[in-house]
Amino acid sequence: MEKDINIIGFLCNWCSYAGADLTGLNRIIYPTNIKIVRIPCTGRMDPVLIMEAFHNGADGVLVSGCHPGDCHYTEGNYYWRRRHAVLKRLLEFLGIDERRFQATWVSASEGKRFAEVVKKVVDDVRSWKKNE
């Protein structure tokens, strides 16, 4: 059987990780393809870490943090937003399909939204893999 897709999710501790916890609390089912790594803040996301994930064979990467303006550390997610914009173009240049690298904002109260985000990312990465 073909190996199922494998997605690594970097979630900030204060919003998205808590949001993902809320998804659990509300028992909203989503695909198992995502494995979550807790980070303190999306501002901690060194682009090298994402390159490393693709380098090691991850099918997709999701980074999710607090909504702009809501960062626990005031402005960490703004740093991430700028890094993300640059990294996205770099990955495009390297030939990594844009569906494989996604960034979003999920707050601690958006449990339902987190499940939707995961479903979408899994669908996107699947559709990429199919055409591969």
Partner 1 sequence: MSKTGVFICHCGSNIAGVVAVEKVVESAKTLPGVKVAMDYKYMCSDPGQNLIINTIKEQALDRVVVGSCSPRMHENTFRMTIERAGLNPYRLEIANLREHVSWVHSEKASATDKAIKLVELAVAKVRRNEPLQKIYAEIEKRALVIGGGIAGIQAALDIAANGYKVTLVEREPSIGGRMSQLDKTFPTMDCSACILTPKMVAVAQNKDITLLTYAEVEQVHGYVGNFEVNINKKARFVSMTKCIGCGVCTEKCPSKKRLSEFNANIATRKAIYTPFPQAVPNIPVIDKDSCMYFATGKCKVCEKVCPAGAVDYTQEDEIITEKFGAIVVATGYDLYDHSSYGEYGYGEIPDVITGLQLERMINSGGPTGGHIKRPSDGKEPETVVFIQCVGSRDDAKGKPYCSRVCCMYTAKQALLLREHYPNSKAIVFYMDIRAAGKGYEEFIQRVQTEYGVLYLRGRVSRIYEKKDHLLVKGVDTLSGNQVEIKADMVVLATGLKPKKEAQNLAQLLHIGYDQNGFYTELHPKLAPVETQIAGVYLAGCCQSPKDIPDTVAQSSATAAKVGALLSKERLEIEPMISEVNPLLCSGCRMCYNACPYGAIEMEDTEIRRGEIRCVAKVLVSVCKGCGVCVAGCYCKAIDLKGWTDRQLMEQIKVISYC
* 91 is a contact residue toward partner 1 (CB under 8 A): no
* 14 is a contact residue toward partner 1 (CB under 8 A): yes
Token digits of residue 44 = 């901690």
Largest CA distance in the chain: 46
Q: Which is nearer to partner 1, 41 or 124 (CB)?
A: 41
Cβ-based neighbour number of residue 28 at 10 Å: 16
Element (DSSP H or E) covering residue 125: helix 111-131
Count of helix runs (H) and strand runs (E) in the chain: 4, 4
* 35 is a contact residue toward partner 1 (CB under 8 A): yes
Of 36, 119, 128, 129, which lies in the binding site for partner 1, with binding defined by CB under 8 A? 36
* 131 is a contact residue toward partner 1 (CB under 8 A): no
Of 68, 90, 92, 109, which lies in the binding site for partner 1, with binding defined by CB under 8 A? 109
